[in-house]
Structure 1
Amino acid sequence: METPTTAAAPPPRRRSAWRIARNVALALLGLIVAIWLVLYITKGRFLKHPFERFVGGQTHRVVRVDGDFQLYFAPFRIKFLAERMRIANPDWATRPYLFQAERIDTRIAPLSLLWGKRRLYWLDLANGAVDLEWNAAHTANTWTFSDKKGGKPLDFPRIDTATVRGTTVRYRDPRMQLLADLKVDDIRSTDARIGKAVGVTGDGTIRGTPFRVAARLLAPDATVNRGRNELVLRAWAAHNVVDVSGTLPSIAGIEGVPLQTRARGRNLSELLAIIGVVIPNTRDYRLKAQLVQQGQVYRFTRMSGTAGESDVAGTLTITNGDRLHLDSQLVTKTLDIVDAAPFIGYNPDIVAARGAVAAAAATGAAPQRILPDAALPIATMQRFDADLKWRIGRVRSRNLPISDIDLTLDLDRGRLALSPLTFAMARGNVASDVIFDTRQRPAADSYDIRLSPTPMGRLLAGYGVAEAGTTGTIKGRIKLEGRGDSIHDSLSSAHGRIAFVMPQGQLWTRNVQLAELDIGTFVQKMFEDKLKKPVEINCGLIGFTVRNGIAAADPILIDTTKNVILGRGGFSFKTEAVDLAFRADGKKFSLFSGQSPVGIQGYFAAPKLDVISDQLLGRAGVGLGLAVVATPVAGVLAFVDVGDAKSAACGPVLAGATAAAQRTTKGKPRDDVGRGTTAKEENGKADAGEKKEQRKKFLGIF
């Protein structure tokens, strides 16, 4: 009988390797248990200095713990406690420490560290202080420990249970000139739930302007779980209130997140001045928009609201790069004329309450002046750039029928160009190019304003001209260049030409003959109730040559079927004084013609019509004397116009030519029009160069 064979025993070498592996595993486990036991018993306090050196080496910062320190597994969670802990800021920062805390006690999930998600089971933080700063070049921040350009956004761990007391945060951004000191309300949460809104309050300055802020996190339970963060914030600065609300992906992550913004205040220019942007003053405003921030770009879209009595809508993009740049597209349906006052330097509130003269005086203008004397904000204009396209449907005004304004603005390193600026006026169109170049000192300014043929009936409807029955039109151009940092200064030094041309047409007013300045005929027909015919204009020119801010008639010449109307004198942009005299020479016999000048004097703000002139009073005196010593019929002879006025050749008139180029219908030079000089110059005090210059034709206007 055979005996059964037994299984072959493992080779001695294999048994030895298995035992070695088992023994090593047991030894490692024993070592881990021993280490755990040592750490658990000692609470890992002996690791304080190695912890400081290790974390300091990884962050390239000095790390100090001046109080109790614990670091160990308890039992499967990492227990970390540090009292009077400090993490230093980089050398360029203005504060020595990025983080300080009287006490930080937390439990950390070990596996979360392996996966980079950082979960804290609970956190107890007492009297923490965080300092967040950007460097001047905006290439690094204090909370990014690597040399990565631009810095990383703030990133917070998930916290299940937290107690936070006495925490403050300081934020500084030199590029935005922003400094904020914030205090976080105490937080107590259990089971990843806080249960009530968390508030943040504080104050600070932005570009030298003080502000205060109050914010609330409406969904803090979602925040600690890295979910939805419903943020509501309100800030007060420079008489403005700004509200911001939105849902953030993390408590400090606003990049790419749509935020709803609302702003209100007494003057929108005060709000934008906070970020170093200058715009004309406004009245009370209310605006809302959606804000999305991407890096250095802040885009406000779906913007709408009101400023004063005007509406506004559109978009605004602010780029906070090496130079602040604004890019905006705006649409306004109705612009109130008072709200347009700031565009020429007036305060709209003063205009609305006390008028243009008071508004001009508020800018420093002398009494009786209306041109604003407010200087351009040179320094601010040279600090930022802007592009603006603005479309305005109509302007609400009693006297000026303006609509369809299309404005393009370009501000480039101190050179402000309103080009083109177009608008419709009384069924005519105005195109202009206005430039203020503050790169030159004082500023080099130019005005080029062109009026296409415009019906006078609608244009002058607010000044007594009847639209029905008026077929006359007017076109013109103002081309001036000057130097100065205000509108008044630039016009006070201006040189150039002003010319308005009237082609053939009819002009209808209730006082028709007064429009022709034939005072005698006007009085006669007024009593006969025969003011029923319009003025028949053959052609007309109102032209001025401007030198050093003084505008002299060159010429004023209007040819009608019955009269030739002539004007002399001028006005001054320096003092805003007006001294013009008009007279009508009849082409036909007129029994009651005063044949005397009608003067316009005073100032831009308060012109005066002088109808009863010295010449007219003299004729009345002569007539009265003749009536006394002779017969009443003889007294009428003092007012007889024999009708010898010379009709004007309309070619030079319609070409906008200077006085020297004007001719009669027979081709002879006219000797009854001004020469574009002041009265003193016409009396022989103008030098030869000026007399030659005044006779040059202003080419290229028409």
Structure 2
Amino acid sequence: MAEEIATAKPIRTLGTPLASTIAVLTTILGLIVLAWTILFVTKGRFLKGPFERMVASQTQREVKVAGDFQLYFAPFNVKFVAEGMRISNPQWAGRGDFFRAKKVDSRISTWSLITGNRRINWLGLEDGHLDLQWDKAGKRNSWTFNEEKGEPLELPLIRRALVQGTMIRYLDPRMRIEAGIRVHTVEAKDTQFASSIGFDGTGTVRGTRFVMNGALLTPNATVSGGKNELKLHAEAVRTQIDLSGTLPGATEIEGADLHLDMRGQNLADAFSLIGVAVPDTRLYRFRSELTKAGNEWRLTRLRGRFGDSDLAGKVTVAMTQPRLMLTADLATRMLDIVDAGPFIGYSPQASAAGAVVTRAAGAPRILPDAPLRVEALRNFDAKVNWTVRSVRAERLPISNLKLGLTLDDRLLKLSPLNFSLARGTVNSDIRINARRQPVFTEYDIRLSPTPMGVLLAGFGVEESGTTGTLKARVELTGTGNSVRDSLASSNGRIAIILPKGAFWTRNVQLAELDVGTFVQKMFEKKLKEPVQINCGLIGFTVRGGIAAADPILIDTEKSVMTARGGFSFKNETIDLAFRADSKKFSLFAGQSPVAINGFFAAPGINPISGELLARAGVGLGLGLVASPLAAVIAFVDVGDAKAADCGPVLSGASARSQRDEKGRPRNDVGRGTTAKSESGKQSGDEKKKQRKKFLGIF
């Protein structure tokens, strides 16, 4: 029995591990309670020195608290009080303090300290000063402590605040922003709100002065359903902005429900404040909902007007690096042609007054010359889609415009840029490369088969009787910071093809100055009798901004029309000699060119050419010495013209490939006086006969 008792194993006490765990947890909890009690009783005043040293070490700044200091749990939030507190600026920011205040009294969410959300449930600030600066390189700032790279400014989430006599200064040399804002809390009159934080300030943005004022109404804790209500009014460079709505917290913009009302004389003024270039506009007013999500500012339910045009859609501005990103999806029901002028470089005020024509050296100019804002393109990227249902224009039947715009580091693409024109479609792709200086632009504009009658109807010509169509393409490249400059240096091709179709007899007879046939048909009431166009090509070769006819050839059932000359993008002059040879015998047919001259802004037609005057003189002489019938002989068209070869025409043959009835190269195309340079001398290339095969672009 004794041996059994001696060899028996001790019985393990049940629950020992659980008891040990409970003991450890009880000890930890006791220590926490003890620490909490010590901090609560002493208010944590003994932590003043350690606090100064620790914060100074972490921020590499001088940190001092001249007066009372408290840091404890009350009961669950962290209570922080500091009198006469200051934190110095970093050395690169110069002398002065980043932060100083007569008194700071706050309650900080303990859980937010663990998660890093930095939520302040209550903030009392008396006679504070906050100096927010970026360095000149835009790499460091005064609020990012102990970091080589500055982070964007993110204010802590403040639920409620009481601020007295506080000044906030913001300086960003790179963005050219300098602002001073005063903040002061007053008692609110509305019982729903406990206080009103008023603010006002002035400053400059990119050299433009602005003023602002507003208030933030903080909710009364005794009234349910209250939210921080914001009201802000700002004015700058002929622009007024009103912002109103509610915030989840005093500084909590994320998920805010805000309403924006913006109006002014020119929308480009407002966007210039953030370094974004948009076309000029006339008077405008827009309203939208505004909220913030992450690094994005979103304008939704946008609606308003600019000039006599409407606009709706949504816009997002993302504060990304190295450039902010602008995206937009916009729609317009009716776009006034005057409001479209600034998109290609016309002044909105000038186009509204009908004064798009300027003068240079006494000559009229109409090509837009507003320079591209190259420097502004460095600040942002963009992706914009814009649709326009109708365009209000007196003479241009334009509708269904669709624009896709992308900007990537100064490379601007307008693709597609499409619209309906007189039941045809214009498809465009324009590429503007501002990475190069001067700016390099590529134009590729294509017109699908379009009824001539509808197109001419916009210019006062009756549509009935004309069934002909045309298709065209412009393919040019040029350098320059404006449309005028790029076209003045452009190279490429311009071509218009006329497939088969019917045109008014009146139009054809006038083109060939066949007065006899015109008068005869007028009395016979056959002016609207259609004449068939067999084929036609109007082509120009463009070199250095000078466009030379290459070729112009139209074959109808009754005549062969040709032209020579061209026009100049440099000085906007026109010098074309247009001629039509009848295929049939006709009296009074003027077998000499009709001159189309003048300027783009003021073209002229002169049928009385030197050749025609000489023939008229011969006819007059014969009439004096012989009989009146002899004077008619000089105007007789014996109908010696042969039908043009439609194959070469429609296949895009050059001027040299076009030949007369004897097989000789025609000498009445591709040789205009505008092919000369402005100095009056032809270059070596201009002196060469045009041999280049027309681009197979159709």
SS of equivalent residue, structure 1 residue 349: helix
Q: Name 1:266's counterpart in structure 2.
A: 265
**In the alignment, is residue 240 of structure 1 matched against residue 239 of structure 2?**
yes
Q: Name 1:250's counterpart in structure 2.
A: 249
* Alignment match of 1:558 (pick from 529, 536, 554): 554
**In the alignment, is residue 671 of structure 1 matched against residue 672 of structure 2?**
no
Instruction: Provide, for residues 137-172 of structure 1, a one-character-per-residue CA deviation record: whole Å limited to 9, x for no partner.
Output: 678762879999947843466769x6x532222244
Task: Give structure 2 stretches of 5+ with no counterpart.
Answer: 1-29
Amino acid at match of 2:262: A
Q: Name 2:491's counterpart in structure 1.
A: 495
The answer on whether the counterparts of 2:89 and 2:142 sit within 8 Å (CA) in structure 1 is no
TM-score normalised by the chain length of structure 2 = 0.82
Residues 251-330 of structure 1: pairs in structure 2 closer than 5 A? 251-320=250-319, 321-330=321-330
Instruction: Provide, for residues 8-32 of structure 1, a one-character-per-residue CA deviation record: whole Å limited to 9, x for no partner.
Output: xxxxxxxxxxxxxxxxx9xx99xx9
Amino acid at match of 2:551: P
Residues 102-121 of structure 1: pairs in structure 2 closer than 5 A? 102=102, 104=103
SS of equivalent residue, structure 1 residue 385: strand
Q: Percent of aligned pairs with the same residue?
A: 51
The answer on whether the counterparts of 2:218 and 2:250 sit within 8 Å (CA) in structure 1 is no
**In the alignment, is residue 414 of structure 1 matched against residue 400 of structure 2?**
no
Q: Name 2:337's counterpart in structure 1.
A: 337
Q: Name 2:19's counterpart in structure 1.
A: none
Amino acid at match of 1:485: N
Q: How far apart are residue 408 of structure 1 and its match?
A: 1.7
Instruction: Provide, for residues 589-621 of structure 1, a one-character-per-residue CA deviation record: whole Å limited to 9, x for no partner.
Output: 101212222111111110011123333333333
The answer on whether the counterparts of 1:222 and 1:229 sit within 8 Å (CA) in structure 2 is no
For 1:675 and 1:146, locate their aligned partners in 2 and report how far apart those are by CA, in whole Å: 69
Residues 392-431 of structure 1: pairs in structure 2 closer than 5 A? 392-431=388-427
For 1:126 and 1:679, locate their aligned partners in 2 and report how far apart those are by CA, in whole Å: 77
Task: Give structure 1 stretches of 5+ with no counterpart.
Answer: 1-24
The structure whose Rg is larger is 1
Q: 1:98 to 1:368 in 2, by over 3 A?
A: same
TM-score normalised by the chain length of structure 1 = 0.81
Amino acid at match of 1:285: Y
SS of equivalent residue, structure 1 residue 287: strand
Q: Name 2:23's counterpart in structure 1.
A: none
Count of residues in correspondence between the two structures: 653
SS of equivalent residue, structure 2 residue 634: helix
Q: Name 1:181's counterpart in structure 2.
A: 180
Q: Judge which range, 505-514 or 543-552, deviates more.
A: 505-514
For 2:146 and 2:668, locate their aligned partners in 1 and report how far apart those are by CA, in whole Å: 82
For 2:634 and 2:530, locate their aligned partners in 1 and report how far apart those are by CA, in whole Å: 27
Amino acid at match of 2:302: M
The answer on whether the counterparts of 1:138 and 1:175 sit within 8 Å (CA) in structure 2 is no
SS of equivalent residue, structure 1 residue 481: strand
Q: 1:71 to 1:617 in 2, by over 3 A?
A: closer
Instruction: Provide, for residues 359-406 of structure 1, a one-character-per-residue CA deviation record: whole Å limited to 9, x for no partner.
Output: xx5xx8974111123332222223432222222212211111111222
For 2:361 and 2:344, locate their aligned partners in 1 and report how far apart those are by CA, in whole Å: 13
The answer on whether the counterparts of 1:568 and 1:580 sit within 8 Å (CA) in structure 2 is yes
Q: Judge which range, 144-153 or 548-557, deviates more.
A: 144-153
For 2:112 and 2:623, locate their aligned partners in 1 and report how far apart those are by CA, in whole Å: 119
Q: Name 1:87's counterpart in structure 2.
A: 87
Q: 1:671 to 1:100 in 2, by over 3 A?
A: closer
Q: How far apart are residue 425 of structure 1 and its match?
A: 1.0
Q: 1:701 to 1:171 in 2, by over 3 A?
A: same
The answer on whether the counterparts of 1:464 and 1:510 sit within 8 Å (CA) in structure 2 is no
Q: Name 1:3's counterpart in structure 2.
A: none
For 1:335 and 1:113, locate their aligned partners in 2 and report how far apart those are by CA, in whole Å: 52
The answer on whether the counterparts of 1:158 and 1:226 sit within 8 Å (CA) in structure 2 is no
Q: How far apart are residue 636 of structure 1 and its match?
A: 2.1
SS of equivalent residue, structure 1 residue 459: helix
For 2:178 and 2:294, locate their aligned partners in 1 and report how far apart those are by CA, in whole Å: 19
Instruction: Provide, for residues 243-267 of structure 1, a one-character-per-residue CA deviation record: whole Å limited to 9, x for no partner.
Output: 2222111111112324222211111
Q: How far apart are residue 587 of structure 1 and its match?
A: 0.7
Instruction: Provide, for residues 68-101 of structure 1, a one-character-per-residue CA deviation record: whole Å limited to 9, x for no partner.
Output: 547699x999999865442334455566323323
For 2:126 and 2:536, locate their aligned partners in 1 and report how far apart those are by CA, in whole Å: 86
Amino acid at match of 2:247: L
For 2:131 and 2:450, locate their aligned partners in 1 and report how far apart those are by CA, in whole Å: 65
For 1:424 and 1:191, locate their aligned partners in 2 and report how far apart those are by CA, in whole Å: 57
Q: Name 1:218's counterpart in structure 2.
A: 217
For 2:139 and 2:579, locate their aligned partners in 1 and report how far apart those are by CA, in whole Å: 71
For 1:365 and 1:462, locate their aligned partners in 2 and report how far apart those are by CA, in whole Å: 32
Q: Name 1:154's counterpart in structure 2.
A: 155
SS of equivalent residue, structure 2 residue 431: strand
For 1:537 and 1:339, locate their aligned partners in 2 and report how far apart those are by CA, in whole Å: 38
Q: How far apart are residue 218 of structure 1 and its match?
A: 3.4
Q: How far apart are residue 442 of structure 1 and its match?
A: 2.4
Q: CA-atom RMSD, angstroms?
A: 4.1
* Alignment match of 1:629 (pick from 607, 610, 625): 625
Q: Name 1:455's counterpart in structure 2.
A: 451
Q: 1:189 to 1:88 in 2, by over 3 A?
A: farther
For 2:515 and 2:340, locate their aligned partners in 1 and report how far apart those are by CA, in whole Å: 39
Amino acid at match of 1:154: L
For 2:109 and 2:314, locate their aligned partners in 1 and report how far apart those are by CA, in whole Å: 49
SS of equivalent residue, structure 2 residue 352: helix
**In the alignment, is residue 598 of structure 1 matched against residue 583 of structure 2?**
no
**In the alignment, is residue 439 of structure 1 matched against residue 435 of structure 2?**
yes
Q: Name 1:504's counterpart in structure 2.
A: 500
For 1:110 and 1:564, locate their aligned partners in 2 and report how far apart those are by CA, in whole Å: 90
Q: 1:170 to 1:502 in 2, by over 3 A?
A: same
The answer on whether the counterparts of 1:511 and 1:522 sit within 8 Å (CA) in structure 2 is no
Amino acid at match of 1:352: A
Residues 570-609 of structure 1: pairs in structure 2 closer than 5 A? 570-609=566-605
For 1:147 and 1:617, locate their aligned partners in 2 and report how far apart those are by CA, in whole Å: 84
Q: Name 2:227's counterpart in structure 1.
A: 228
SS of equivalent residue, structure 1 residue 448: strand
Q: How far apart are residue 650 of structure 1 and its match?
A: 0.9
Q: 1:222 to 1:674 in 2, by over 3 A?
A: farther
Instruction: Provide, for residues 41-76 of structure 1, a one-character-per-residue CA deviation record: whole Å limited to 9, x for no partner.
Output: xx98x997677557656876533344x547699x99
The answer on whether the counterparts of 1:310 and 1:339 sit within 8 Å (CA) in structure 2 is yes
Q: Name 2:349's counterpart in structure 1.
A: 349
Q: Name 2:129's counterpart in structure 1.
A: 129
For 1:348 and 1:382, locate their aligned partners in 2 and report how far apart those are by CA, in whole Å: 25
Q: How far apart are residue 516 of structure 1 and its match?
A: 4.0
SS of equivalent residue, structure 1 residue 506: strand
Q: 1:660 to 1:593 in 2, by over 3 A?
A: same
Q: How far apart are residue 627 of structure 1 and its match?
A: 3.2
SS of equivalent residue, structure 1 residue 218: strand
SS of equivalent residue, structure 2 residue 330: strand
Instruction: Provide, for residues 452-472 of structure 1, a one-character-per-residue CA deviation record: whole Å limited to 9, x for no partner.
Output: 111100111123432222110
Q: 1:265 to 1:159 in 2, by over 3 A?
A: closer
For 2:109 and 2:262, locate their aligned partners in 1 and report how far apart those are by CA, in whole Å: 47
Q: 1:642 to 1:219 in 2, by over 3 A?
A: same
The answer on whether the counterparts of 2:531 and 2:556 sit within 8 Å (CA) in structure 1 is yes
Q: Judge which range, 259-268 or 669-678, deviates more.
A: 669-678
Q: 1:297 to 1:635 in 2, by over 3 A?
A: same
For 2:644 and 2:159, locate their aligned partners in 1 and report how far apart those are by CA, in whole Å: 91
The answer on whether the counterparts of 2:188 and 2:217 sit within 8 Å (CA) in structure 1 is no
For 1:262 and 1:215, locate their aligned partners in 2 and report how far apart those are by CA, in whole Å: 14
SS of equivalent residue, structure 1 residue 340: helix
For 1:368 and 1:191, locate their aligned partners in 2 and report how far apart those are by CA, in whole Å: 64
Q: Judge which range, 615-624 or 546-555, deviates more.
A: 615-624
Q: How far apart are residue 577 of structure 1 and its match?
A: 0.9
For 1:110 and 1:388, locate their aligned partners in 2 and report how far apart those are by CA, in whole Å: 42
Residues 162-173 of structure 1: pairs in structure 2 closer than 5 A? 164-172=163-171
For 1:340 and 1:110, locate their aligned partners in 2 and report how far apart those are by CA, in whole Å: 54
For 2:94 and 2:112, locate their aligned partners in 1 and report how far apart those are by CA, in whole Å: 32
